[in-house]
Amino acid sequence: MKRRHILRWGCAQCAVLPLAGFANTSDVGADSWQAPQRFARPDLASDEGGLWALMDREETKLRRSPFLLKDSELQNYVLDIACKLGAGHCQDIRTYLVRMPIFNASMAPNGMMQVWSGLLLRVENEAQLAAVIGHEIGHYLQRHSLERMRDFKGRTAAGLVLAMFGIVGLLGQLAVMAGGLAFSRSQERDADIIGLKLMADAGYDTREAAKIWRNLRAEAASNPGSEEATRSPMLATHPASDERAVELERWAESRSANGRVGQEQYRDRIANVQSLMLDDELSRSRFSESLVLMNRLIANQPERADLLFYRGEAHRLRAKSDDLDLALADFEAALDKGTVPPKLHRAKAEILKHKGDSEGAQKAYAKFLELQPDAPDAAMIRDYLKGTSS
Confidence of residue 248 (pLDDT cuts 50, 70, 90): confident
Handedness of CA 280, 137, 14, 290 (dihedral sign): negative
Cα–Cα distance for residue pair 18/338, rounded to 1 Å = 46
Long-range contact set of residues 357-362: C-beta below 8 Å, sequence gap at least 24: 358/388, 361/388, 362/388, 362/389
pLDDT in tens, 338-370: 899 999 999 999 999 999 999 999 999 999 999
Q: What is the pLDDT of residues 32-42, one digit of tens each?
A: 788 889 988 88
pLDDT at 13 over 50: no
pTM of the entire structure? 0.84
Query: What rounded mean pLDDT belongs to the chain?
Result: 82
Kindly give, in sequence order, each residue whose CB lies less than 8 Å from that of residue 66, ignoring residues fewer than 6 positions away.
Answer: 3
Q: Phi-psi bin for 156: left (phi > 0), alpha (psi -120 to 50), beta?
A: left
Angstrom distance (rounded) from CA 11 to CA 32: 39
Residues 59, 168: contact at Cβ < 8 Å?
A: yes
Q: Are 100 and 167 in contact (CB under 8 A)?
A: yes
More confident residue, 263 or 58: 263
Region 5-23: mean pLDDT is 33
93-119 pLDDT tens trace: 999 999 999 998 988 889 999 999 999
Which is more confidently placed, 120 or 174?
Answer: 120
Q: Which residue has the higher pLDDT, 136 or 248?
A: 136
Is pLDDT of 26 > 80? no
Q: How far is CA 242 from CA 5, 113, 247, 250, in A?
A: 33, 27, 9, 12
Of 148-162, 235-249, 349-363, the poorest mean pLDDT is in 148-162
Phi/psi-derived region of residue 262, left when phi > 0, alpha when psi is between -120 and 50, beta in every other case: left
Domain ranges of the chain: 3-263, 274-389
Instruction: For domain 274-389, give the CATH number.
Output: 1.25.40.10
